[in-house]
A = this chain, B = another copy of it.
Amino acid sequence: MISFTCDYNEGAHPAILDALVRTNMDQQPGYGADSYTESAKARIREAIGRPDAQVFLLTGGTQTNSTVIATMLRDYQGVIAAQTGHIAVHEAGAVEYTGHKVLTLPQREGKIGASDLKSYLEGYYADGSYDHMVFPGMIYISFPTEYGTLYSKAELQQIHSVCGEYGLPLFIDGARLGYGLMSPKCDVTLQELAGLCDVFTIGGTKVGALCGEAVVFPTGKAPEHFFTMVKQHGALLAKGRLTGIQFDTLFTDGLYLKIAANAIDRAMEVKSLFIEKGYELFLDSPTNQQFIILPQKAMDALAGKVAYEIWERLSDGRAVTRFATSWATTKEQVEELRKLLPEDK
């Protein structure tokens, strides 16, 4: 059985395990004061070209999103997101649990538009009773989005510019950041992206780590006492070395982007084989998540041999499915899929 269900089916990139083994008995202080975490932070600062950036290493995605959002918002504020944004749908209300509303905007292929954002903000402040409503307090976008799509540099600039007009911080959820940056359709570099937001995350869990998300405040404007609030949110590891060693490894010799590239190469092969065999794409994703419309016949053929996710059942009996590749996906796995998949006719 081969699985394309998600990008966290395997453990960690072997270099990470090697580093964990190698450093294992080295005594280090807890709570992120270890030398590996320090090194990881320095490497991330260097990778984004911002010596003044503040970097924090947390454990998981929902945890990171709710901690960042709750600590950056004031009580009277909510966070703006696409209706399909992860925080709006699949985080069990973690943001609301911290007392804040997720204010949703319409989306297209998982993305919000700068003009919709601007309309929303103009409309909000034009409303005579806006102070009876939740103030917009920050903007959340994901890169890549939940549909695998990417904002272009121009789109990021436009959104960032609207945020600037209204004094709202822009938060980019990079749970799959590597897979976005290595896409052939990506026209923004890591350094540029760091300059187009106020806080962003570098996802480890889905890009080769056992766990771990790096939170980066590129201009050094983390909320005061962010460390204590990370603890308050239950997001502080006693053995900070666990995330420290992993990000230190991922940001040594460009490993993070190198292994992300594998996922993209495999994803493009997956996309091609579906196209070649006559299948319809649900949308044309440039990253590691491929959304394909499968008829029952194809699903029957793969049953018990290839795992993937059913995204949505269509009324004609077909289903929108997701095939995800990762740093760990092999050419052999893709070839096996190719062999098992019948022509769509």
**Chain B nearest CB: distance from A147 CB in Å?**
15
> Is A239 on the interface with B (CB-CB < 8 A)?
yes
User: Does A211 belong to the interface (CB within 8 Å)?
Assistant: yes
| Distance in angstroms between the alpha carbons of A3 and B25 in the assembled complex | 12
The segment from A15-23, A152-160, A289-297, A337-345 found at the interface with B is A15-23
Chain A 62-98 per-residue mask, 1 if CB under 8 angstroms from chain B, else 0: 1110110011001110100000000001111110111
Which of A5-13, A105-113, A185-193, A264-272 sits within the interface?
A: A5-13
Interface contact B100-A228, CB-CB below 8 Å? no
Q: Point out the residues of chain B lying under 8 angstroms from A237, CB to CB.
A: 59-60, 205, 211
What does DSSP make chain A's interface, helix, strand, loop or mixed? loop
Q: Any chain B CB within 8 A of the CB of A281?
A: no
Residue numbers in B under 8 Å from A25 (CB-CB): 10-11, 328
Query: In the assembled complex, which residues on chain B have CB atoms less than 8 Å from the CB atom of A17?
Result: 17, 20-21, 24
User: A25-63, CB under 8 A of B: which get 1 and which 0?
Assistant: 111111100000000000000000000000000011111
Given contacts A10-B28, A92-B229, 9 further A-B contacts (CB under 8 A): A5-B29, A8-B238, A20-B210, A21-B21, A59-B237, A76-B92, A89-B133, A93-B232, A94-B233
Top 8 nearest A-B pairs (CB, nearest first) are A63-B234, A11-B24, A93-B134, A92-B232, A92-B231, A96-B101, A9-B27, A3-B27
Binding site for B on A (CB under 8 A): 1-3, 5-6, 8-12, 14, 17, 20-21, 23-31, 59-64, 66-67, 70-71, 74-76, 78, 89-94, 96-102, 126, 128-129, 131-135, 205-206, 210-211, 224-225, 227-229, 231-239, 241-242, 309-310, 313, 328
